[in-house]
Amino acid sequence: MANLEINTTQNVNLDYKIVSVGERILAFLIDLFLFFIYFYIIELATEAMNMAFSDRWTVFGLQQLLLLPVMFYSLYMHILFNGRTVGKMTMKTRVVKADGSPARWSDYLVLWMLRLVDIWIFLGSIGLLSIIFSDKRQRVGDHAAGTVVISTKNKVKINHTILEEITDDYHPKFLNVTKLTDKDVRLIKETYLIAIKSNDFKTLNALRLKVESVLETSSDLYDKQYIDTVLRDYNYYTQNM
């Protein structure tokens, strides 16, 4: 399984799954199905225009105008919906930069231009082979734009709130947890809960080491206790500010 490592502002590392070839194909087929529906609508509209206009060139011009949304579909959908088309929304996937940062409109433009090479020339074989033999499952357009497609699914039910239950007599242990932001703490908690749920002690230890390095702390608490204490301490200080 290919993963993408994304850094938070405090250098806490998170891994996101890069989608499989099958998921990318299925997302494309969903978009293609929408195209077929739209083409059918255009066909009905063309029949109506043939009845309304006697000039075939007028009908042809209007027909080509109606085809523009399909031609630019991938470009404007990615720009408007932050790296997603209807197919990607359905499959819960998204285009991002290879370093995990959001893609720019210029990246989407490169992806759109190279769809001709990846998908439409040789019936998609070039793009498919590029994805299969790429470590990050990138088609030619992805390589050129420096993008990847990641999954936004949460296979584990996560409580996204950063709030923790704290008793009135709670005494914090780590004074510098306020170096973290709410976003950092939310990401730490998500990773923490996933690791606990799947008994992934390696990830839990890596998370602990990274948080320790950011906060410049040293503790004899074991991994679970340490992360839990950091979360509670952060809540204690932020709720009492």
pLDDT tens for 156-186 read 443 445 556 667 678 888 888 888 888 888 8
Nearest to 86 by CA among 150, 153, 30: 30
Domain boundaries, the chain: 3-151, 175-239
Q: How confident is the model at residue 21 (pLDDT cuts 50, 70, 90)?
A: very high
pTM comes to 0.61
Residue 149 tokens, joined: 């497609």
Residue 185: count other Cβ atoms within 10 Å of its Cβ: 22
**pLDDT for position 160:** 43
